[in-house]
Structure 1
């Protein structure tokens, strides 16, 4: 910070998290100490070109009336410390000094601490703020400064997705996916990586991927893996994700794996796993990727082992008995192995947890003894059908369970949370929503 200057930024933003295109305004207050006293600048922008402002310019801090201000017709560039002529002749100056009195670096440092729910409003202030948000630069800077928010994205209706911020407890409705009926009715997997939400499914003739980007608040399609697949295990770590196993378009169980880089928009083929498997689960723990459980072998048997992939050596290591249950519910009930959902796993602070949906208990994995132990129960109303329809995810420093009572027709979905560092499982209800009570897909985005 420059000597003799200080800044105070406060925001008055919408009370609910809505689509980015519906975020209407952002208000902020900047107070600058100078040798001649204090000057306070207060603004209230609406949309792309909102000009309703209140400005304090004297030591007595006398306010101009709105009618007086309207007659002045100040431009947005004047509000952030630029004259109209200077803004027209030097876009670079606008880019370098987002809020001129405090400078670009301090402005960005303040914006990094804003919730990303407010970035749609921030982007509406002027072209500099818009570029900072829409280019993704603000998210790259957040990662560098270890400022990360984790939101949960899930779907309880076909082709419809919602996002939930567990800190502010606000909801956001995503635009509806624009796809054909074949994709809508196909089995789908989801994965959040970087600033993207990927949804994998089948089209008429092939596997397809739809991508939702928070920078544009829109869906797009056309991405393709090196080896298209479904029913795979996957997990993300920052801007990268690994997908392993699954089935090809002919139903063959795969051992192949690949890495997706969301920054470069590239797929890298990795060495194959030791065992082919489908309907498995993937996690990152201690900076290594694990694939656990699933179905494999010529007889499509349930696999109890896991495999660890070291990103440095590019090698796989088999880990016996890593699945949280040795015998699945489907096998006990003489049902096909595929009737049971893949293991429900979550990693918080490099500790692995599993939801045992048969006994409604929560388990923790001991990395030294390689054994599972019960640590508590699951939320009572989080029902499932052999594990299907229940979301169990890590979300920052907490475990999230999303589900609801099994009812006919419309129901209520509940978001429950537990922070392991605070002691034994005590589930807190973060939010409820009128919706179908069956969770089709769920992913957590940290950015």
Structure 2
């Protein structure tokens, strides 16, 4: 990085000399000594933790970082870094790099009071973090770009919704079900492309459902759990969407059983959070919050197998306030003990293997210990 900085200073000095002599200079080469192509090749292999520093070197580097071109090239080359984005305070977001163990505070979201206090969903797709909520008269989507480090209004869905299932795969994300503006439970599905900013309607699910969860597994989009129209009980079936055939297939009894604390199993109550799901190495995991237990899905037998316990200090309220995500080859749990003094957030990780979970505490930070929203961005 110091060598890159020295070269940049040398380039600026050359430009000053040329400008003083009245010549026009082409700054598109980035590092003149090696040329533009090799310069970009070097930048692609830098950690995106360093991109902010690189963008501050001069206008040429700032332009290439803010254009988003590097992220598209990284995707083509299979260079991916996974960062965790989460919110423990209204309109405030933190980013965490689990490799370099670095924190980054995002700019505060600009919105009205209605959006601030409304229920919100979030997902990360491509180089964008999307936050879904409601303003006074309509649903709205705010979009954070890592290229520009700024918030803006995102493209509206064809059918606005909340409490939906979602998952992302590269530059696309799929949202399914949820509640419409009139409180009706939806079966409709849409796909979003972050490269184009366009929402496209997909075939409806077999069942309408809200408060469900989504995941990509085996290259297919899977929706699990939720609540159907006119019935307070949780749906135990799931559905899988094949992106190639554009068809849905129902999977009966896939919802992970949740103990009611009395030896039986509870499938009722709308107060419970949607299923906490994560996929690592194409294997599906779920959290049973009452037992603070981690389970793994057996695809062949359609069964959930207990794996072990969650981190000891990770607390939740009926599953709310606890984040459980896949982050590359790791499972990440974000949460903390309840405290009247504001609480502490802890980020724990485990790379799944044949044994029970051995959680590693990656970082902790003083902030609200209730996680409102969480998403993982890989780019």
The verdict on how the C-alpha distance between 1:84 and 1:231 changes in structure 2, with shifts beyond 3 A counting, is same
Query: Could you tell me the TM-score, scaled by structure 1's length?
Result: 0.80
Cα offsets for 1:349-408 (capped at 9, x unmatched): 111011111111110001111111001110010010000000000001100000000222
Which deviates more, 405-414 or 373-382?
Answer: 405-414
Alpha-carbon distance in structure 1 between the residues aligned to 2:238 and 2:185:
16
User: Which of 103, 128, 146 matches 2:78?
Assistant: 146
Partners of 2:209 and 2:42 lie apart in 1 by 47
Q: Which runs of 5+ in 2 are unaligned?
A: none
Structure index of larger Rg:
1
CA 1:336/1:182 → structure 2, altered by over 3 Å: closer, same or farther? farther
Give 1:168's aligned residue: 100
Please state if 1:288 is matched with 2:220: yes
Measure the CA separation in 2 of the matches of 1:250 and 1:375: 41
Q: Select between 107-116 and 350-359 the one with higher mean Cα deviation.
A: 107-116
Residue 132 (str. 1) matches residue 64 (str. 2)? yes
1:89 alignment partner in structure 2:
24
Provide the rounded CA distance (Å) in 2 between the counterparts of 1:217 and 1:255: 34
Task: Give the Å deviation of 1:223.
Answer: 2.6
Alignment of 1:311-390 (within 5 A): 311-325=243-257, 337-390=269-322
Give the Cα separation in 1 of the matches to 2:128 and 2:337: 30
**Distance change >3 Å, CA 390–CA 326, structure 1 → 2:** closer
Residue of structure 2 in register with 1:180 after alignment: 112
Q: How far did residue 145 of structure 1 move?
A: 0.9
User: Does residue 206 of structure 1 match 2:206?
Assistant: no
Structure 1 residues 329 and 183, CA gap change in structure 2 (3 angstroms): farther
Distance (whole Å) between structure 1 residues aligned to residue 76 and residue 209 of structure 2: 36
Aligned CA-pair RMSD: 2.3
Name the residue aligned to 2:6. 43
What are the Cα deviations for residues 168-214 of structure 1, in whole angstroms up to 9, with x where unaligned? 11100011111111111111100000111011011111111111111
- Native 8 Å contact 2:84 2:95 kept in 1: yes
Moved over 4 A (4+): 82-88, 326-330, 332-336
Does structure 1 conserve the Cα–Cα contact (< 8 Å) formed by 2:286 and 2:295? yes
Task: Find the aligned partners of 2:23 and 2:271 in 1 and give their Cα distance.
Answer: 64
Q: Which residue of 2 aligns with 1:76?
A: 12
Provide the C-alpha distance between the structure 2 equivalents of 1:77 and 1:98, rounded to a whole number of angstroms.
Answer: 14
Residue 112 of structure 1 is matched in structure 2 by: 44
Distance (Å, rounded) in 1 between the aligned partners of 2:261 and 2:138: 32
Q: 1:270 aligns with which of 202, 215, 223?
A: 202
Partner in structure 2 of residue 16 of structure 1 = none
Determine the structure 2 residue equivalent to 1:430. Answer: 362
- Match of 2:60, SS state, is helix
| Structure 1 residue 420 corresponds to structure 2 residue 355 | no
Unaligned runs of 5+ in 1: 1-10, 12-26, 30-41, 46-52, 54-73
Query: What do the CA deviations read for 1:44-90 (whole angstroms, capped 9, x no partner)?
Result: 86xxxxxxx5xxxxxxxxxxxxxxxxxxxx6616389x955799524
- In structure 1, the partner of 2:332 is 400
1:28 counterpart = 2:3: yes
Using the TM superposition, name which of 158-167 and 401-410 deviates more.
Answer: 401-410
- 3-state SS of 1:43 partner: helix
User: Aligned in 2, Cα 1:192/1:216: closer, same or farther, shift over 3 Å?
Assistant: same
Cα distance change, pair 88–235 in 1 and its aligned pair in 2 (3 A):
farther
CA offset at residue 333 of structure 1? 10
Distance across 2 between alignment mates of 1:369 and 1:132: 49
Moved more, 226-235 or 360-369: 360-369
Contact 2:234 2:268 in 1 (8 A): no
1:28 is displaced (CA, Å) by 2.2
Q: In the aligned structure 1, how far is the partner of 2:286 from the partner of 2:68?
A: 34
- Equivalent residues of 1:77, 1:87 under 8 A apart: no
